[in-house]
Amino acid sequence: MKAAIVTVQGATPVYGDFPDPVAAGGERHIRVTAAALSQITRGRASGAHYSSGPTAFPFVPGIDGVGRLEDGRRVYFVMPRPPLGSMAEQVAVAERQCVPLPDTLDDVTAAAIANPGMSSWGALVERARLRPGETVLVNGATGTSGRLAVQIAKHLGAARVIATGRNPATLESLRALGADVVVPLTADGEERDAQFEQIFAAGVDVVLDYLWGDSARALLIAAAKAGADAVPIRFVQIGSVSGGEIGLPSAVLRASAIELMGSGIGSIAFQRLIAAISGVFGAVEPAGLQIATKPVPLADVTQAWNAAGPERIVFTTGQG
């Protein structure tokens, strides 16, 4: 079969021939139609992602995708058995790691929306346990996952959604997707910190943080200053676009009722992550979830691997 292949650590995948998979007990053979290129896919392929394990070369990258079972049914699948990844014409995947797709959801959209949608669905439902009527702040809302987080928070019952980000134009566009307040992260430290303190003084129940780094530190300090009455604020750490570490004063946690937690592979049981993805699929039509996609033939994987832009690249095999 044809596949994207990583031959050495850190190398860009190349398009070539790879042995066909043979499904073992409890697995299903899937003919792949679409697989999205995500940060976690790039990170695991290079060995840089925190969930990466020991790697044998060569291997096929890709943690999830969409395809057809032997009987023609369409499914989303996640975590194919190594050395196979989703960026191939075929995979073998445990049946419990497959999710049926609604007829109204096309392959490219399903492949693109599953991972970024799951990031906020899992954080809100499994970790923060969002209750209807609460206020959610999305830190880093202008990326693909953050934009979906704004939409999903509203769908799950948030009464008020606050969005932060560095791109003013993109930030303003989030109002049409459900953001009630937008806060640019372009102000200097003192002005930004004052804005954060005003926001928390007005009441925030849940923070979804896709950035970490300096803005997350400032949010935690502002939340602590506003939390003297011991009102719990659930701060859920999801991504680290702005850096993997922060220096946090210990008093932030002692002087407040902040609940600091993470959300991702390892902090949520695997089958609950599968359930979160299923929840996202079921919400696409009723919630009008939107994600920009760019279908690219799998044969062009080398040229597209490091491409950047607002659209999520989805590699297609032409087998649909």
Q: What is the pLDDT of the chain when averaged over all its residues?
A: 93
Supply 41's token pair: 């896919």
Q: How far is CA 108 from CA 129, 154, 190, 227, in A?
A: 30, 24, 43, 43
pLDDT recorded at residue 214: 95
Strand order in the sheet with 206-209: 181-184, 160-165, 135-139, 206-209, 233-237, 258-262
* CATH architecture of structural domain 115-262: Alpha-Beta Complex (3.90)
In the chain, what percentage of residues exceed pLDDT 70? 96
In tens, the pLDDT along 221-262 reads 999 988 656 578 999 999 999 999 999 999 999 888 899 999
Mean pLDDT, rounded, for 63-69: 97
What confidence category does residue 82 fall into, taking pLDDT thresholds of 50, 70 and 90? confident
Q: What are phi and psi of 72, to 5 degrees?
A: 95, -5
Through-space distance between the first and last CA atoms of the chain, rounded to whole angstroms: 16
Give domain limits for the chain: 2-101+290-316, 115-262
Domains 2-101+290-316 and 115-262 equal at CATH topology level: yes
User: Which position has the token pair 């499914």?
Assistant: 75
In tens, the pLDDT along 175-232 reads 999 999 999 998 888 999 999 999 999 999 999 999 999 999 999 999 998 865 657 8
pLDDT recorded at residue 320: 67
In the chain, what percentage of residues exceed pLDDT 90? 81
Answer for the pair 109, 291: CB distance below 8 angstroms, yes or no.
Answer: yes
Using the predicted structure, report yes or no on whether residue 23 has a pLDDT greater than 50.
Answer: yes
Burial 232-245 (b: 16+ CB within 10 A, else e): ebbbbbbbbbbeee
Tell whether pTM > 0.85.
yes
Q: How far is CA 200 from CA 138, 227, 261, in A?
A: 13, 8, 18
Q: Choose between 24 and 109: higher pLDDT.
A: 109
Q: Are strands 233-237 and 206-209 parallel, antiparallel or unpaired?
A: parallel
pLDDT recorded at residue 137: 98
pLDDT recorded at residue 47: 65
Question: By C-alpha distance, which of 257, 313, 234, 277 is closest to 78?
Answer: 277
Mean pLDDT, rounded, for 113-128: 97
Using the predicted structure, report yes or no on whether residue 146 has a pLDDT greater than 90.
Answer: yes
Q: What are phi and psi of 125, to 5 degrees?
A: -85, -45
Supply 53's token pair: 């394990």
Using the predicted structure, report yes or no on whether residue 292 has a pLDDT greater than 70.
Answer: yes
Mean pLDDT, rounded, for 18-44: 91
Supply 37's token pair: 């290129």
| 4 CB-near residues (< 8 Å, 6+ apart) | 13, 14, 15, 60, 61, 62, 85, 87, 88, 298, 301, 315
Answer for the pair 37, 72: CB distance below 8 angstroms, yes or no.
Answer: no
pLDDT recorded at residue 54: 47
User: Which position has the token pair 């400032």?
Assistant: 218
pLDDT recorded at residue 189: 83
Using the predicted structure, report yes or no on whether residue 51 has a pLDDT greater than 60.
Answer: no
* CATH architecture of structural domain 2-101+290-316: Alpha-Beta Complex (3.90)
pLDDT recorded at residue 56: 79
Using the predicted structure, report yes or no on whether residue 69 has a pLDDT greater than 70.
Answer: yes
In tens, the pLDDT along 131-144 reads 999 999 999 999 99
d(CA 193, CA 191): 6
